[in-house]
């Protein structure tokens, strides 16, 4: 049974809304157990528990929020070197398009890589013009259908990789399920 953690910080609810969509997407893969944790309520046990995690933060000055950074700097510091090999991805909400969401995702990914996690991107498109190549992104609340779909796709892909990597379920490899993918053109 693949275990997915959706860990997020959200000051005003927008990244929290993304987290719920990411969790919905992860839940689309049968046999996946999904745990959603706000960062202040999260503990290192949540990270140890999971096989894969999606980490979300509001974009703050172009990077992850200090509260999310603090979780990895302080709560997780003593666990460094003990949680390697989990599948991981990122998502972020900013105040507007071009506000630095992808840079914030990269800053989250940098932290995740430092912990030895297997960070991935998504080639699929959500609708015609929306991707989550570097993580799911939103401008404020995820309202647009394509943005909501991108959040779900990220969570779904995370659960697929967890199924493949942690549980050896080759049937869940995205390339084995072309009917479930949407590529441009
Ligand atoms: C300290 C601070 C820094 C911010 N920096 C940025 C930024 O660099 N770019 C941007 O577009 N929005 C920025 N914002 C706006 C938030 O990213 C945006 O409102 C986001 O949707 C908040 O998500 P949340 O509701 O999950 O907290 C900032 C907000 C705060 C409080």
pLDDT, one tens digit per residue, over 98-139 is 999 999 999 999 999 999 999 999 999 998 999 999 999 999
Banded model confidence at residue 16, pLDDT cuts 50, 70, 90: very high
Is pLDDT above 80 for 185? no
pLDDT of residue 96: 98
Architecture of the CATH domain 2-180: 3-Layer(aba) Sandwich (3.40)
Give the helix/strand (H/E) hosting 90.
Answer: strand 87-94
Q: Which two tokens stand for residue 50?
A: 């999971």
CA within 13 Å, CB half, 128: 0
Q: Which pLDDT band, with edges at 50, 70 and 90, does 182 fall under? A: confident
Residue length, the chain?
Answer: 185
Ligand 1 mutation pick, 62, 99, 143, 151, max ligand atoms within 8 A of CB? 99
Structure confidence at residue 85 (pLDDT): 98
What is d(CA 35, CA 19) in angstroms, rounded to the nearest whole number? 11
Among 171, 126, 134, smallest CA distance to 59 is for: 134
* Closest by Cα among 123, 146, 108 to 21: 146
58 lines ligand 1 (CB under 6 A): yes
Burial zone of 156 (CB within 10 Å; 0-12 exposed, 13-18 middle, 19+ buried): buried
Q: Where are the domains of the chain?
A: 2-180
In the 8-state DSSP scheme, what is residue 120? -
Atom of ligand 1 minimally distant from the CA of 57: 26
16-20, 49-53, 89-93, 174-178: segment of lowest average pLDDT: 174-178
Q: Residues near 40 by Cβ (< 8 Å), separated by ≥ 6?
A: 9, 67
């Amino acid at each position: 049974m693949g275990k997915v953690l959706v860990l997020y910080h959200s000051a005003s609810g927008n990244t929290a809304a993304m987290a719920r969509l990411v969790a919905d997407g992860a839940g689309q893969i049968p046999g996946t157990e999904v745990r959603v944790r706000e960062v202040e309520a999260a503990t290192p046990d949540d990270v140890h528990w999971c096989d894969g995690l999606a980490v979300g933060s509001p974009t703050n000055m172009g990077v992850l929020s200090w509260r999310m950074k603090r979780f990895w700097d302080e709560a997780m510091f003593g666990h460094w070197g003990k949680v390697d090999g989990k599948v991981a991805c990122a998502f972020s909400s900013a105040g507007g398009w071009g506000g630095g969401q992808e840079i914030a995702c990269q800053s989250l990914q940098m932290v995740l890589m430092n912990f030895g996690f297997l960070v991935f991107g998504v080639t699929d498109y959500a609708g015609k013009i929306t991707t989550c190549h570097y993580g799911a992104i939103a401008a404020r609340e995820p309202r647009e259908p394509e943005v909501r779909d991108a959040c779900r796709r990220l969570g779904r892909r995370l659960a697929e990789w967890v199924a493949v990597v942690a549980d050896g379920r080759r049937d869940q490899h995205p390339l084995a399920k072309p009917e479930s993918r949407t590529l441009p053109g």
